[in-house]
Structure 1
């Protein structure tokens, strides 16, 4: 197993807060490949992250979650492909999802609605910053992990002094730039760019961290932006140094469920899982044997070791380039297995009961033990499969 080499400490860290930016709920079969029995719906909160470098007095937001006016502001309807009904069978769902990622934004909306999905946002990121007396003028940049609507929010609410930072290839792709209505094929609205500096990252002179090309954003070793294309052409992630020897990796949509990257040889399924993801008569159980979940892992049918093989594989329909997406995910695994790094993907619902949310901070995640508390909490999604195993049903 290769040793993960993390950047040297240069006397500067950042503070990180996680902001709840709305949620979507979709059929699990649209997101993960071959859902485990009983895992029918996927609850997907949309996280935004406030990152502050106090030494240089800079604040940035990594992703913005949903915008409140998403129904009104998405591009107008296209007559073609309206109200598609999800067909039975995995391949049909997969093809439908691929279309969702490549068509104009309202086609996505129509398919979300026809799939009986939920999109819910009461207070957007700008509202929450205002309520916490954080002036929007103090936000130096918004960094989009990629251009999908559950990450882009509404940059037009922020002043022109706030830069918008995007991944490589953003300006060269007609699905991302210029925005709608200037460009009728765009997945983003052009009011995101009005009056502000649009910065497209250039990784040609980047360093390498754990196999990822990386840009030292503040030029002091406190925040790195990582090239992690695959889910989309412009997808990026972030590595934030929260102490001399600890980091948070913000994975964006490298994965959509922790079961796509756990367990592995870097982070094997424990013999005893504590805290237990199981409940008995609504009362939490302190520990449970890992063998319960090992027995229901799809890895068994693939002839793999369930202790070190993720429960799920990436869904081709969720990624523009499945090969690149798999490479990016593979690079993330050593970070996830390191005691020095906490990985947080953009839609990990299992962390809702583990992490404190803005205006509180997650900077001291290592001291508070958040990684240990949250690493296996996603297994509660598979309790239905355990019940089926127990009563002999399939």
Structure 2
């Protein structure tokens, strides 16, 4: 079934060069912190953290979308660090600034850091960039999360994140275009790169939509989802009878039969058309998402992008794409001809032990 509405991405001949950055982050966390219900004993999720270098060849402008986790994450705001270390297992080898420098990108060339949102695993360490690099944030973030720590003893952000640089808020009135179910802001003003207002997960949560050819796009989906099973399968992108490549051995033959997942789906009668997971809501109604209903609506809109054959969806912590996508310093604009979508779409299924006899040893 096709999406119920067109994505209505405005036409443009202008593209950006996109690189997917492996931020050298490994983050291990309890699955039930974000996901419900528990399925087949998947107790913990081991994720990564993608960020993106976006280059506009017409203006020469370069921006970085997200920074992963800072290498010295023990220097996060003290109250935040104390909470994090009781929940997450974190390893970080390098800051994004270091990765860029090692690969010939001068930090003075980066005109802006764009935070998808203010959570610790996306903000990195802006202080590693020069003051000429502005910091771009989503609607409502400054009012909700400033002043920073230590001025606010309970703050999550650091004064050093903002010191000496321009802070730019993409306010609600700047999302003047509608793409799919989201408001969109034309960042460069030429149709090559949009910021999308994707609410629910956090105040000011944004995604990036980059035009990689005149007719293909990469959606930088940030934390709209934390696992492929939160938005796949869907009525727009059903689980096929036979899954190729086989998610368990990455081979095109033999294909993996889809029926083996029926028994672990929370709604077996809908296992081909409804996601395996929903956002976890704790007893008492608390959740990692401040507005679960709105966050679930954003996921439904994300499914429309995922069903489009010209949009590659890359969630920030989707480790199943590691080994499939080319990472910085390589470019990602050739993603469609390289078959990354087909190779990666169902790879999350390997997270569950369903007793499948043809799994790779």
Q: Which TM-score bucket, shorter chain as reference?
A: over 0.9
Which residue does the alignment assign to 2:4? 2
Offset at 1:229? 1.5
Which residue does the alignment assign to 1:106? 81
**Structure 2: distance between partners of 1:380 and 1:110:** 28
**Structure 2: distance between partners of 1:237 and 1:231:** 11
Q: Structure 2: 5+ residue runs without aligned partners?
A: 282-286
Give the SS at the match of 1:344: strand
Q: Is the 8 A contact 2:138 2:169 kept in 1?
A: yes
**Are 1:130 and 2:101 counterparts?**
yes
Which residue does the alignment assign to 1:97? none
Offset at 1:318? 2.2
**Structure 2: distance between partners of 1:224 and 1:198:** 19
Give the SS at the match of 1:224: strand
- Relative to structure 1, is the Cα distance of residues 154 and 286 closer, same or farther in structure 2, using a 3 angstrom cutoff? farther
Q: Is the 8 A contact 1:142 1:164 kept in 2?
A: yes
Match of 2:316 among 329, 339, 346: 346
- TM-score, length basis structure 2: 0.92
**Structure 2: distance between partners of 1:322 and 1:370:** 30
Q: Is the 8 A contact 1:203 1:214 kept in 2?
A: no
Which residue does the alignment assign to 2:307? 337
Offset at 1:38? 2.7
Give the SS at the match of 2:336: helix
Offset at 1:379? 0.5
Q: Is the 8 A contact 2:73 2:81 kept in 1?
A: no
**Are 1:314 and 2:289 counterparts?**
no
CA deviation vs aligned residue, 1:68-100 (integer Å, no higher than 9, x gap): 1111x22234xxxxxxxxxxxxxxxxxxxxxxx
**Are 1:192 and 2:161 counterparts?**
yes
**Counterparts of 1:1-394 in structure 2 under 5 Å?**
1-21=3-23, 22-71=25-74, 73-77=75-79, 105-112=80-87, 117-173=88-144, 176-205=145-174, 206-279=176-249, 286-300=254-268, 304-316=269-281, 317-382=287-352, 384=353, 386-387=354-355
- Relative to structure 1, is the Cα distance of residues 285 and 353 closer, same or farther in structure 2, using a 3 angstrom cutoff? farther
State the aligned residue count: 348
Offset at 1:283? 8.5
Give the SS at the match of 1:298: coil
Q: Is the 8 A contact 2:126 2:161 kept in 1?
A: yes
Give the SS at the match of 2:35: coil
Instruction: Compare 179-188 and 330-339 and name the one that shifted more.
Output: 179-188
Offset at 1:286? 4.1
**Structure 2: distance between partners of 1:342 and 1:75:** 34
Q: Is the 8 A contact 1:231 1:253 kept in 2?
A: yes
Give the SS at the match of 1:171: helix
Q: Is the 8 A contact 2:40 2:264 kept in 1?
A: no
- TM-score, length basis structure 1: 0.85
Q: Structure 1: 5+ residue runs without aligned partners?
A: 78-104
Offset at 1:27? 1.8
Q: Is the 8 A contact 2:244 2:252 kept in 1?
A: no
Give the SS at the match of 1:50: strand
Offset at 1:285? 5.3
**Structure 1: distance between partners of 2:97 and 2:8:** 33
Offset at 1:8? 2.6
Instruction: Compare 35-44 and 62-71 and name the one that shifted more.
Output: 35-44
Q: Is the 8 A contact 2:32 2:280 kept in 1?
A: no
Give the SS at the match of 2:62: strand
Q: Is the 8 A contact 1:66 1:151 kept in 2?
A: yes
